[in-house]
Amino acid sequence: MKEFSFTIGNCPGSLVEIAEALGKEHVNIEGIAGATVLEEGVVCLVTDNPGKARKVLRDAGVDYEENEALVLDLTNRPGELATLLGRMSREKINVLSVYAAVEKNQVILTVDQVERTKEILRIA
């Protein structure tokens, strides 16, 4: 899975333009996080079709960074995220982004050591 992260203007309608363009291309957003940092909006998103998402972002003139994203199922109970992040920390793996997916009890991670993380978490 691929994560696209980018900055957009911090004004009404900035994100809707991208969401509409993805929708017109029948690209489903499977996870999204956003926050305002200083005067810009920072967005991370995962879609069901990275190829089309790339094209939509390019056509919209959005400069983006692309990273491999890991989608993990987490048990819905207190401390599960802390356990996961603690394991990453002990293994000296830096988490670049973390946010909830659209599917219930799933979390999306990007990390600085993808293959090592897959090995540790036994992800194919």
**What is the per-residue pLDDT across 71-91, written as a single tens digit (0 to 9) for each?**
999 999 999 999 999 999 999
Expressed as residue numbers, the domain containing 105 is: 70-121
Ramachandran angles phi, psi of 38, nearest 5°: 55, -115
Q: Are residues 17 and 74 in the same domain?
A: no
Q: Are residues 111 and 57 in the same domain?
A: no
Total number of domains in the chain: 2
pTM: 0.88
Give the mean pLDDT of 97-108.
Answer: 91
Rounded to whole angstroms, the Cα distance separating 34 from 66 reads 16
Rounded to whole angstroms, the Cα distance separating 64 from 78 reads 34
Shortest CA distance to 21 belongs to which of 46, 43, 53, 65? Answer: 53
- pLDDT category at 52 given cuts 50, 70, 90 is very high
Q: Which residues of 41-62 are buried (b: 16+ CB within 10 A; e: fewer)?
A: bbbbbbbebbeebeebbeeeeb
State residue 39's pLDDT score: 86
10: pLDDT strictly greater than 80: yes
Q: What residues form DSSP beta bridges with 101?
A: 31
Residue 89 belongs to domain with CATH number: 3.30.70.260
- pLDDT category at 38 given cuts 50, 70, 90 is confident
Q: Are residues 16 and 61 in the same domain?
A: yes
